[in-house]
């Protein structure tokens, strides 16, 4: 489904992503872990079109998307959640969800058509999934950190993405909020391929099958959680004794 | 919510319909000017309040609208005997001015679209956009001042002293009968019609799904772009509409005073428009009118008494508003109303 | 193209560029370095001209009054920074609107105090000098030299003095500088005050060339912004580059057509530069003028 | 005597509650560690001490003076040196200028640590004095940041993940330097680190942080074989 061919991004001398060959099958729930500065978010920025790679290609459903604009890539079904919760702070929760729903159900330029019932129903469904049922009227900016993360996940859901990029969905969440996020992502992954960048080992233990470990801009190793845990090299990066 | 709002809006319109019956022609004329300037403020509020694009170029579209109207109307309706460069007399043969009105709206809209495409597709935004639009107003002004001896059709553009004897708007059925709105009362009602129409259109735009995307762009452009909306396209569209509105306001102004010159759309007009929208409250549409009415009314009232001091005070008010309540008057009203509704729930 | 035309063209280009550079220098510090959009920059220049006028009418000799004119301007700038600008750091749009309010306020107060009509100041250095048949105004030549010396002074100030080091550190990373014991609010105030002083100096230097009237700032403010924006983030070098290119193009074009047209060309050229190189002509890779 | 005492510290980012009632203390000359995974609030804790983040409630007492919510430059002048995560050196200034910025204020009062001391510790910096900060490698930037922290002549040095993203050889060098700074100069240090081996070799006492709470405090020996540590920090 998604494949990168020796993808590289250089920031005046420093190689954030270095000849990365990453591939992902349809329906997978892949986690990417690695210490700070391993190039995870830079990889997401390139896939979603916000950052042009120095060289290398990104292929999605065997179509080159390396040079496309962010909105063109989003229209192809690749939707991302940003590392810092990126929602419409001054809108109510309902309005936040209205924006993505609109694009899905009623085409692009909808000058004088009003919100159809169907979009309203869709918002209710999503509120149910992300468990913000009673918070519909609240202003997004006043939600707790965890609730904002859920709202943003809900918004990406509204786009019915074929590939979902989640950047540290559980950052700043309490224990039970993380657990709840795990469940939400698990039932999303039935219909959508997901890549998650995460640090929380407990969280990864619960939800993931395939894991990719990144370090200094390239893939160190890939495999299931058990393989990763016993891998000496991975232990070192995390405990700082890398060779 | 929709119902209550519609009634309030109707009441407001009725008040304005009744006003001229009770006021002297001087005040009716003044009201027409306020409404005309309100449309200009509306054009800025549409892009700044709703989409987050602060443009200093509204003055340029305003002037463009005025000049296009003056030139086309005079060419079509009048016969000009030129005795000396700035001294000519005009014979008005009459006829409806629909074409001039249309052109005076479409021309600035097209220029706005081209300019919008040129700037937004290069991701020019924020401060750079302000400075470029500001310098465009100056460019347009300089070009007009330069064309002293030139003529379009047989109408002298007149450089710095502008074009005079511009015919008033006249309505009716083309080639059959026409009725020129010389009488201030009739002209006022035409202006009121235009104001209500543009407010309704802006309201439709802002409350439609298209409008919610505009506010989404204002609140969080990156998020909106990553949902698949081509942000640049929307910006160009709303900028074109705003150019048309500013053009409408320009043509009404030119027809109101039967005169248009580079001075009528100078640096200071762009500044005033920003002040009106800021004082009235960004992103509330009605706020644009409230701001422009209040400021212009005070200006008229106080300017003969205070003359210079008035601008001193306006500068001061402006600073206070930016520092203390960036939401403006309507913002305060909303906040008051909001806190009344929400306060019981909060305790 | 015989010798006379080329010589005049070059001289005009040099003099126009130096006028643009000196009037844009203060803005380069306040807007270029600090990122504060100061729409009252034109008014600081105007104040400089008026204070030169005031000191002259108080009987000081013209050179002395031109030299000390920037000091009161800098003091006024301190009040403005402490009272208004300080609360708006980081909020670019609000600083833009607030400084616009200040600009309106200053123009009107000068109109009230000194009346709208222009003031005349005796020309400090009249006369021309002659090179085989061509006459060049002495003052404009002097102005080119003064501009170069101000640029040199600024370079030395920022490169080798304690204040210069603190200013550069604070502007690159205010939080880190503060965590190292640098009194950042104080440095911001002094830098703003320096920028305003430079603008005041430009005003007093330009008095013989422009008519001193309350609204003289409005004509200058857009051009100086365009110089700093097209110049780019490398402050001193960028402003010189921006000023030189825009200044000389305008002076050459207006030599052959009209001053109006020259002005239009300057504006169009600036817009093209911003459109093609958003980070400006000479820009440090690290910083962009957000 | 305790040089820094933190009581019931609560810090928020907007609405999200990051630090929940932190208690922390460090005696003069002590080397204390703060460990925990990414995003638990270690950096937030350091920033609130140096004054870069507002403290909603709780107190921070340094040399028996309340310093919470005072501007960073006042806290730094009282004697706290700060080496931030990501080093944050001035890219446009040369190495010498970076160091000079730190020592500007102390000119008037006595100078606790001199430039020579910093150059003894980090000879690599001496060779690149006039190079722009932005051109240094990760390791060199880290040395510059630590040197700069020292030149503010602090009585307490805050170090936020000094070994993050640095080649092992330089990590070793930094470890030795920190040891000598603490032992020879008697400078008390708070070290935030993810690298457990490194921290347990250097510090006498550590605090384990999890989701904004301090959940364990003890000497390196006690924490060394504590199964809780293994569970939380093992990858």
The tens-digit pLDDT sequence of chain A (243 residues) is: 888 888 888 876 667 788 888 888 888 888 888 776 677 888 888 888 888 888 888 888 888 888 888 888 888 888 888 887 888 888 888 888 888 877 765 554 555 455 567 777 888 888 888 878 787 788 887 777 778 888 888 888 888 888 999 888 877 676 777 888 888 888 888 888 899 988 777 777 777 678 888 877 888 888 887 787 777 777 666 544 433
- Residue B309: is its pLDDT beyond 80? no
The answer to whether D38 faces chain A, any CB pair under 8 Å, is yes
State the residue for tokens 């330069």.
B146
The answer to whether B136 faces chain C, any CB pair under 8 Å, is yes
| Alpha-helix residue ranges (DSSP H) falling in chain A | 40-47, 70-75, 93-105, 117-129, 145-158, 175-188, 201-207, 225-230, 232-239
User: Strands D57-62, D205-210: parallel, antiparallel or unpaired by DSSP?
Assistant: unpaired
Per-residue model confidence as pLDDT tens digits over D139-156:
888 889 999 988 888 889
pLDDT given at position C290? 27
For the domain spanning B27-346, the CATH number is: 1.10.3470
What sign for the dihedral angle of Cα B316, B322, B328, B334? negative
Q: Which residues of A touch D (CB under 8 A)?
A: 12, 33, 35-37, 141-146, 148, 168, 171-172, 174-175, 199-201, 228-229, 234-235, 238-243
Q: How far is CA B285 from the centre of its chain?
A: 12
Mean pLDDT, rounded, for C24-33: 88
Q: What does the domain layout of chain C look like in residue ranges?
A: 26-215
- Residue B286: is its pLDDT beyond 70? yes
Determine the Cα–Cα distance for residues B61 and C42; give it in Å rounded to an integer.
Answer: 25
What sign for the dihedral angle of Cα B75, B80, B84, B89? negative
pLDDT, greater one: B333 or A101:
A101
Per-residue model confidence as pLDDT tens digits over D99-130:
888 888 766 556 677 888 888 888 888 888 88
Q: What does the domain layout of chain B look like in residue ranges?
A: 27-346
Is A35–D235 a contact, with Cβ atoms under 8 angstroms apart? no
- Residue C101: is its pLDDT beyond 80? yes
B225 closest CB neighbour out of A70, A106, A115 = A70
Is D50–C181 a contact, with Cβ atoms under 8 angstroms apart? no
Q: What is the DSSP letter of B159?
A: G
Find chain D residues with C-beta within 8 A of C175's C-beta: 52, 72, 88
Identify the CA nearest to B57 among candidates B108, B117, B110.
B108
Find chain D residues with C-beta within 8 A of C166's C-beta: 101, 104
Chains in touch with D (≥3 Cβ pairs < 8 A): A, C
Based on C-alpha coordinates, what's the Rg of chain A?
A: 18
| Residue of A69, A72, A88, A116 to mutate, testing the B interface (most B Cβ within 10 Å of its Cβ) | A88
pLDDT, greater one: A159 or B87:
A159
| Alpha-helix residue ranges (DSSP H) falling in B156-207 | 184-207
Chains in touch with C (≥3 Cβ pairs < 8 A): B, D
Determine the Cα–Cα distance for residues B241 and B245; give it in Å rounded to an integer.
Answer: 6
Percent share of chain B, pLDDT over 90: 15
pLDDT given at position C286? 39
Identify the CA nearest to B141 among candidates B246, B54, B63.
B63
- Residue B106: is its pLDDT beyond 90? yes
The answer to whether B333 faces chain C, any CB pair under 8 Å, is no
pLDDT given at position B241? 94
pLDDT given at position B42? 93
Q: Which residues of chain D have pLDDT under 50?
A: 234-235
pLDDT given at position B175? 72
Determine the Cα–Cα distance for residues B256 and B33; give it in Å rounded to an integer.
Answer: 8
Per-residue model confidence as pLDDT tens digits over C228-254:
888 877 778 888 888 888 888 888 888
> Which of the four pLDDT bands, split at 50, 70 and 90, describes residue C2?
confident
The answer to whether B230 faces chain A, any CB pair under 8 Å, is yes
Q: Provide φ and ψ at A170, rounded to 5°.
A: -105, 10
pLDDT given at position A243? 33
The answer to whether C271 faces chain B, any CB pair under 8 Å, is yes
Q: What is the DSSP letter of A11?
A: E
pLDDT, greater one: C220 or B332:
C220
- Asked if C touches B (at least 3 Cβ pairs < 8 angstroms), the answer reads yes
> Which of the four pLDDT bands, split at 50, 70 and 90, describes residue B113?
very high
| Residue of C38, C109, C260, C280 to mutate, testing the B interface (most B Cβ within 10 Å of its Cβ) | C260
Structure tokens at B8: 């309030």
Domains of chain D: 2-233 (3.40.50.300)
CA distance C198 to chain D (A): 24
D83 and D162 in contact (C-beta within 8 Å)? yes
Cβ-Cβ contacts under 8 Å for B79 (sequence gap 6 or more) = B90, B91, B93
Is C107–B311 a contact, with Cβ atoms under 8 angstroms apart? yes
> Which of the four pLDDT bands, split at 50, 70 and 90, describes residue B284?
confident
Per-residue model confidence as pLDDT tens digits over C251-290:
888 888 877 778 888 888 888 888 777 777 776 543 333 2
Per-residue model confidence as pLDDT tens digits over B26-47:
888 888 899 999 999 999 999 9
| Residue of D72, D75, D107, D150 to mutate, testing the C interface (most C Cβ within 10 Å of its Cβ) | D72
User: Strands B87-92, B78-84: parallel, antiparallel or unpaired by DSSP?
Assistant: antiparallel
pLDDT given at position B328? 63
- List the 128-167 stretch of C: residues with Cβ below 8 A of B: none
D195 closest CB neighbour out of A168, A229, A240 = A240
Q: In chain A, what is the greatest distance between 2 CA atoms, to the nearest angstrom?
A: 62
The answer to whether C182 faces chain B, any CB pair under 8 Å, is no
Is D235–A238 a contact, with Cβ atoms under 8 angstroms apart? yes
- Residue C71: is its pLDDT beyond 70? yes
CA distance D51 to chain A (A): 21
């Amino acid at each position: 489904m998604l494949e990168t061919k020796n993808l590289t991004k250089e920031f005046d001398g420093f190689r954030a992503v270095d000849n990365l060959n990453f591939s992902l099958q349809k329906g997978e729930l892949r986690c990417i872990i690695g210490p700070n500065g391993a190039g995870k978010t830079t990889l997401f920025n390139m896939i979603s079109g916000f950052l042009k790679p120095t060289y290398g290609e990104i292929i999605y459903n065997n179509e080159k998307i390396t040079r496309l604009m962010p909105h063109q890539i989003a229209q192809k079904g690749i939707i991302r959640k940003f590392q810092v919760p990126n929602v419409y702070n001054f809108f109510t929760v309902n309005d936040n969800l209205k924006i993505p729903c609109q694009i899905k159900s009623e085409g692009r330029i909808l000058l004088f058509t009003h919100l159809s019932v169907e979009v309203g129903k869709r918002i209710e469904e999503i509120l149910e999934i992300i468990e913000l049922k009673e918070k519909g009227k609240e202003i997004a900016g006043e939600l707790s950190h965890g609730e904002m993360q859920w709202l943003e996940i809900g918004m990406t859901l509204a786009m019915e993405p074929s590939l979902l990029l989640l950047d540290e969905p559980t950052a700043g969440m309490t224990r039970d909020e993380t657990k709840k996020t795990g469940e939400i992502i698990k039932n999303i992954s039935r219909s959508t391929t997901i890549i998650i960048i995460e640090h929380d080992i407990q969280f990864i233990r619960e939800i993931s099958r395939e894991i990719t470990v990144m370090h200094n801009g390239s893939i160190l190793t890939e495999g299931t959680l058990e393989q990763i845990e016993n891998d000496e090299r991975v232990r070192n990066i995390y405990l700082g004794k890398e060779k | 919510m929709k119902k209550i709002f519609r009634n309030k809006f109707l009441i407001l319109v009725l008040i304005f319909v009744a006003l001229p019956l009770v006021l002297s022609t001087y005040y009716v004329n003044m009201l027409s000017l306020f409404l005309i300037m309100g449309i200009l403020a509306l054009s800025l509020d549409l892009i700044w309040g709703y989409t987050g694009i602060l443009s200093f170029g509204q003055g340029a579209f305003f002037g463009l609208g005025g000049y296009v109207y003056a030139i086309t109307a005079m060419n079509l309706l009048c016969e000009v005997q030129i005795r000396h460069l700035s001294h000519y007399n005009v014979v008005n043969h009459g006829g409806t001015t629909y074409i001039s009105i249309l052109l005076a709206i479409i021309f600035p809209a097209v220029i706005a679209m081209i300019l919008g495409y040129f700037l937004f597709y290069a991701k020019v935004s924020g401060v750079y956009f302000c400075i470029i639009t500001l310098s465009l107003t100056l460019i347009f002004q300089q070009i007009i001042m330069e064309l002293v001896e030139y003529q379009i059709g047989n109408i002298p553009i007149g450089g710095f002293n502008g074009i005079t004897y511009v015919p008033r708007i006249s309505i009716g059925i083309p080639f059959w009968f026409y009725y020129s709105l010389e009488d201030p009362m009739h002209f006022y009602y035409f202006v009121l019609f235009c104001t209500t129409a543009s407010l309704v259109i802006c309201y439709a735009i802002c409350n439609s799904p298209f409008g919610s995307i505009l506010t989404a762009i204002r609140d969080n452009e990156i998020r909106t772009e990553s949902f698949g909306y081509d942000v640049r396209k929307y910006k160009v569209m709303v900028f074109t509409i705003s150019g048309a509105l500013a053009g409408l306001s320009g043509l009404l102004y030119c027809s109101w005073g039967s005169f248009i010159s580079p001075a009528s759309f100078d640096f200071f007009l762009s500044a005033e428009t920003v002040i009106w929208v800021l004082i009235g409250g960004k992103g509330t549409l009605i706020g644009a009118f409230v701001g422009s009415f209040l400021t212009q009314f005070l200006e008229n009232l106080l300017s003969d008494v205070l003359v210079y001091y008035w601008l001193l005070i306006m500068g001061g008010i402006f600073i206070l508003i930016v520092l203390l309540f960036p939401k403006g008057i309507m913002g305060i009203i909303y906040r008051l109303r909001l806190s009344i509704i929400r306060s019981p729930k909060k305790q | 193209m015989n010798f006379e035309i080329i010589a005049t063209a070059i001289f005009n280009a040099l003099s126009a560029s130096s006028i643009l550079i000196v009037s844009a220098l203060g803005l380069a510090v306040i807007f270029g370095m600090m990122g504060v959009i100061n729409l009252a920059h034109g008014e600081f220049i105007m104040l400089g001209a008026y204070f030169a006028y005031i000191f002259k009418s108080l009987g000081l000799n013209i050179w002395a009054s031109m030299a000390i004119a920037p000091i009161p301007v800098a003091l006024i700038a301190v009040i403005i920074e402490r009272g208004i600008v300080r609360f708006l750091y980081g909020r670019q749009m609000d600083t833009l609107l607030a400084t616009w309010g200040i600009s309106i306020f200053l123009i009107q107060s000068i109109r009230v105090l000194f009346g709208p009509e222009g003031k005349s100041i005796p020309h400090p250095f009249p006369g021309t000098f002659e090179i085989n048949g061509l006459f060049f105004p002495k003052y404009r030549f002097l102005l080119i030299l003064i501009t170069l010396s101000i640029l040199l002074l600024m370079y030395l100030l920022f490169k080798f003095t304690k204040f210069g080091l603190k200013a550069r550190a604070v502007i690159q990373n205010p939080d880190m500088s503060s965590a190292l014991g640098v009194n950042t609010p104080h440095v911001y105030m002094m830098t703003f005050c320096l920028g305003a002083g430079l603008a005041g100096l430009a005003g007093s230097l330009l008095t013989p060339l422009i008519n001193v009237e309350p609204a003289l700032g409005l004509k200058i403010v857009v051009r100086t912004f365009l110089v700093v924006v097209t110049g780019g983030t490398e402050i001193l070098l960028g402003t010189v580059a921006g000023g030189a290119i825009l200044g000389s193009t305008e002076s050459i074009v207006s030599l052959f057509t009209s001053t109006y047209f020259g002005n239009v060309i300057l504006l169009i050229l600036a817009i093209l530069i911003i459109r093609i190189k958003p980070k400006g002509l000479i820009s440090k890779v690290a910083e962009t003028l957000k | 005597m305790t040089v820094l005492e933190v009581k019931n510290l609560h810090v928020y980012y907007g609405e999200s509650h990051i630090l929940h009632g932190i208690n922390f203390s460090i005696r003069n000359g002590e080397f204390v560690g703060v460990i925990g995974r990414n995003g638990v609030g270690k950096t937030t804790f350091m920033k609130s001490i140096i004054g870069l983040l507002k403290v909603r409630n709780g107190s921070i007492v340094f040399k028996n003076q309340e310093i919470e919510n005072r501007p960073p430059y006042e806290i730094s002048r009282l004697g706290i040196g700060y080496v931030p995560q990501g080093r944050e050196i001035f890219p446009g200034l040369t190495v010498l200028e970076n160091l000079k910025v730190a020592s500007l204020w102390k000119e008037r009062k006595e100078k606790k640590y001199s430039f020579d001391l910093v150059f003894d510790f980090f000879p690599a910096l001496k060779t690149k004095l006039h190079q722009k900060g932005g051109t240094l490698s990760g390791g060199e930037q880290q040395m510059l940041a630590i040197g700069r922290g020292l030149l503010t002549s602090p009585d307490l040095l805050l170090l936020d993940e000094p070994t993050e993203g640095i080649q092992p050889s330089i990590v070793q060098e930094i470890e030795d330097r920190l040891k000598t700074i603490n032992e020879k100069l008697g400078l008390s240090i708070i070290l935030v680190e993810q690298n457990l081996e490194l921290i347990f070799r250097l510090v006498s006492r550590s605090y384990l942080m999890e989701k904004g709470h301090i959940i364990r405090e003890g000497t390196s020996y006690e924490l060394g074989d504590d199964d809780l540590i293994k569970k939380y920090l093992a990858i």
